[in-house]
Structure 1
Amino acid sequence: MPTHTATAPGAYALEVLEVIAETPDAVSIVFAAPPDAQADFAYKPGQFLTLRVPAGTDTDAVSRCYSLSSAPSIDEHLKVTVKRTAGGRASNWLCDNARAGMVLESLRPAGTFTMRDTTAVPVFVAAGSGITPIMSMIRTVLPESTQDAVLVYANRDRDSVIFDAELAALQSEHGRRLTVLHWIEAESGLPTADGLRALLPADSTATAAYLCGPAAFMDVAAAALCGIGLAREDIHREIFVSLTTDAFAAAPEPAAVPADPDAVSATVEIDGNTHQICWPKSQILLDVLLGLGIDAPYVCREGNCGGCSYTLRAGEVTMQVNDALDDHEISHGVRLACQSLPQSDQLSIAFDR
């Protein structure tokens, strides 16, 4: 492996093993995790890597999140899939420049868009590069369960269908257990709720849905799924984010605040260690943890990626911003450390990365 040390706090150097041309405007990049950090790169289907992309020069590097299309129980190496976007500095740079032997910096896998219930019968709905986390889920659920799966996949035209051959191979391998239904905009126009609903089996036994794609597409897909009887709390969405902050910058020092006589007590479990902290009511949880030297996970610090998610086991908090968690996650105690303020005198928190 080329000699390279990550320059950013909490970052790891990943070697590019292979670059696979998926379509004229999409590539998959296969990475080797450092031998001494294999456990740090354990991930769940649906999660993402945050890459530091040079995008010109190293001083112009940008942070971007890319979903893993590899399946953790099957693939030896990590793989993300990147689709070129108009004006996208990072995606265009990766599509044009990623090569085997290159080393890129990455944060640990993160994200809350994962399979909620392995006993549920899933239906997957994706558009464009939204197939990336969905592919990881499908490739995991088929060999690990007896559940059938349905995929509805929308694309601009036939040439832009990412993983077309791989999906056909999965259908051949798993027979009627996997149904793949394509929506091609060049042939059928923009997807509509009625049109997508017509693709889904009228007698669908699906009990959970996973959506990934542009927000407007996911709105239409959710309406179609409700039309075949799925409850909104069983429809889970991934949210694409374009980071506006540098996820690889050193954590900012928390602002000095007067001693808070009303600071609450919180038990925080992270990486197998338990910390008892005093949490001032005016300070965000993530800032408190980082200020105490506790290595809490985070990516965007903006409340829209889920990279700092934790489970609230006891107590109450409020979140200033939440653009990442759905109602199902909230009801199961998932919260964002970068947006949490305490509302109870005693809290119990666990980071589950």
Structure 2
Amino acid sequence: MTIDPVATKTEPRRVQLRVESVIEETSDSLTLVFSHLGPDGPTAFTYRPGQFVTLEIPHPQHISVARCYSLSSSPGIDDLPAISVKRTPYGHASNWLCDNAVVGLTMSALHPAGTFVPARWDRPLVLLAAGSGITPIMSILKAALVSHDQQVVLIYANRSPKSVMFADTLNDLVQRYPTRLTVSHWFESERGLPTFAGLRDAVPVDPGSDAYLCGPAGFMELAVDVLVAAGVERDAVHREVFTSIHTNPFLDASLQEPAETAANVGTPVSAEVEGTSYSFRCPPDTVLLDAMLQHGIDAPFVCREGTCGACAFTLAAGEVEMRGNDTLDDYELGKGMRLACQSVPVSASIEITID
């Protein structure tokens, strides 16, 4: 089906989430369990292991700010979606949530997004996390153990045993899956910062593994070196990279009204966006995301800065030039993934798919 998108007005990609439970994980972190409020009450919430949601957080100087939080729950396993938040020094959003989140609080959010999602579940998994980087790793870990049958190794770095998030859940999973799950903790209070030699001893020598990493940049860079040295293929190593976003999609006018766009100017684009087909033109020197929003197409996005991966698409035909990329790795680029907020068409026509 091909739709004339110029005449289509889309609803904003926002949802309403209600806090149903607040769980204290550590002295400075908590998990918020949500229900998804539809027009007629609670409804299903669709996401994939490893994805994140973007919340609108009140702010005294800026009306609101947008912040991305990984889902620590796992679809089909946990009854309700959940995020886990750790206080950060001078972090407005994390401190606001830790101080104000109570049962019954309703918040605006964007649909789940992100590419930190396993594309296959038939290979051993090596998961490395540091601090609150455990949140998307927990989602992937539970999905692997409950819904699949591969071996899983988790290496989790923290300041001390008291700062381990999901400690009880991890202990329970080790008891339930003793032959498939191995968990190794690294405590800075006992061993100092993670080292190459220390992590190398904990990483199994299995070149057929897929690896997923989340934590501070220095930790992930070290982990990549360790994994490659252990024989894991570089394109099988995936990192979740989050940086503070400077735009606010909740206040972006393009979420509200499609702009008038010349129908016959620019590069012809055939796009399949979450199962719906569109044909439109991308004006010269315009990124694909802007062109889609101008044509009223409900394309996913969050940061518009090339850092979150929410607008990732697969390039099926043609060529684009990316102005920036802080989230897609070499493996994803090799599969044809690109970022709509950074991609400008440079061929006569292009075909793209957004799942």
Structure-2-length-normalised TM-score: 0.91
Structure 1 residues 47 and 106, CA gap change in structure 2 (3 angstroms)? same
Aligned length: 342
Could you tell me which runs of 5 or more consecutive residues in structure 1 were left unpaired when the two chains were aligned: 1-7
Deviation string 1:151-195 (CA, Å, 9 cap, x unpaired) is 000001110000011000000001120000000001000111111
User: Map of 1:268-283 to 2, 5 A cutoff?
Assistant: 268-283=271-286
User: Map of 1:135-284 to 2, 5 A cutoff?
Assistant: 135-201=138-204, 203-204=205-206, 206-252=208-254, 263-284=266-287
Q: How many angstroms does 1:245 deviate by?
A: 1.0
* Residues 261 and 295 in structure 2, CA contact (< 8 A), matched pair in contact too: no
Residue in structure 2 matched with residue 112 of structure 1 by the alignment: 115
Aligned pair partner of 1:46 in 26, 45, 50: 50
Aligned mates of 2:327, 2:258 — CA distance in 1: 23
Q: How many angstroms does 1:78 deviate by?
A: 0.9
Residue in structure 2 matched with residue 126 of structure 1 by the alignment: 129
User: Map of 1:86-101 to 2, 5 A cutoff?
Assistant: 86-101=89-104
Aligned mates of 2:217, 2:228 — CA distance in 1: 16
Structure 1 residues 102 and 56, CA gap change in structure 2 (3 angstroms)? farther
Aligned mates of 2:317, 2:26 — CA distance in 1: 48
Aligned mates of 1:254, 1:282 — CA distance in 2: 19
* Residues 129 and 213 in structure 2, CA contact (< 8 A), matched pair in contact too: yes
Q: What SS class does the counterpart of residue 159 from structure 1 fall into?
A: helix
* Residues 260 and 295 in structure 2, CA contact (< 8 A), matched pair in contact too: no
* Residues 264 and 345 in structure 1, CA contact (< 8 A), matched pair in contact too: yes
What is the RMSD computed on CA atoms of the aligned residues? 2.2
Q: What amino acid is the match of 1:49?
A: V
Residue in structure 1 matched with residue 5 of structure 2 by the alignment: none
Q: What SS class does the counterpart of residue 61 from structure 1 fall into?
A: strand
Structure 1 residues 31 and 255, CA gap change in structure 2 (3 angstroms)? closer
As a proportion of its length, which structure holds more strand? 2
User: Map of 1:295-306 to 2, 5 A cutoff?
Assistant: 295-306=298-309
Structure 1 residues 97 and 258, CA gap change in structure 2 (3 angstroms)? closer
Percent of aligned pairs with the same residue? 47
Structure 1 residues 293 and 346, CA gap change in structure 2 (3 angstroms)? same
Aligned mates of 1:185, 1:238 — CA distance in 2: 22
* Residues 37 and 43 in structure 2, CA contact (< 8 A), matched pair in contact too: no
Q: What SS class does the counterpart of residue 108 from structure 1 fall into?
A: strand
Q: How many angstroms does 1:38 deviate by?
A: 7.9
Aligned mates of 1:302, 1:112 — CA distance in 2: 15
Q: How many angstroms does 1:116 deviate by?
A: 2.3
RCO higher in structure (CA 8 A, sep ≥6): 2
Residue in structure 2 matched with residue 70 of structure 1 by the alignment: 73
* Residues 261 and 294 in structure 2, CA contact (< 8 A), matched pair in contact too: no
Q: How many angstroms does 1:218 deviate by?
A: 0.2
Of residues 37-46 and 302-311 in structure 1, the stretch that sits farther from structure 2 once superposed is: 37-46
